[in-house]
Amino acid sequence: MNMRSPLSRARGLGSAKSGTDHWWMQRLTALALIPLVIWFVVSMIIVTGADHAAAVEFISSPINSVLLILLIVATFIHGQLGLTVVIEDYIHTRWLEVGLIIAVKGAAIFLGVASVYAVIAIALN
């Protein structure tokens, strides 16, 4: 029989300090995505049916390219945070959990950098 209280059993199991940063970052990226997605949807409705030159001109506009880069960065950060939570909650094999988290972070970084590079390349031409 274990005479320890639930609190004493929980002590020493680790800190939840990094969890609050993770939680706040996910909420902040979600809040940032609200106006950015609204802007993006409205912009795509306006540009619908335009030719390639008009799309390049749209992305070349400084305000549009900055907003598009912000949308890309916030989307990849938010997605990476969300997928990390899902992996941590539902994958119970430690090596698989670590491998998937590394893969998700790597994919988010690679795809985010490639997307931002594409916007900058189009905007500067």
DSSP one-letter string for 21-69? HHHHHHHHHHHHHHHHHHHHHHHHHHHTT--HHHHHHHHHSHHHHHHHH
The whole domain housing 86 covers 19-124
Chain-centre distance for alpha carbon 124: 25
Residue 87 included in any domain: yes
Q: What six digits make up the tokens of 9?
A: 């059993």
Alpha carbons 51 and 104: distance in angstroms, whole number: 35
How much of the chain exceeds pLDDT 90, in percent? 82
The tally of domains found in the chain comes to 1
Question: Percent helix, strand and coil across the chain, each rounded to 5?
Answer: 85, 0, 15
pTM of the model: 0.84
In tens, the pLDDT along 62-95 reads 999 999 999 999 999 999 999 999 999 999 999 9
The confidence score (pLDDT) of residue 54 equals 93
The confidence score (pLDDT) of residue 125 equals 87
Residue 13 scores a pLDDT above 90 = no
Residue 14 included in any domain: no
Residue 13 included in any domain: no
In tens, the pLDDT along 27-41 reads 999 999 999 999 999
The confidence score (pLDDT) of residue 12 equals 65
Alpha carbons 70 and 110: distance in angstroms, whole number: 16
CATH number where 62 lies: 1.20.1300.10
Residue 66 included in any domain: yes
Residue 90 included in any domain: yes
Judge contact between 111 and 72, C-beta under 8 A.
no
Residue 72 included in any domain: yes
Residue 10 included in any domain: no
Residue 86 included in any domain: yes
The pLDDT-based confidence of 15 (bands split at 50, 70, 90) is low
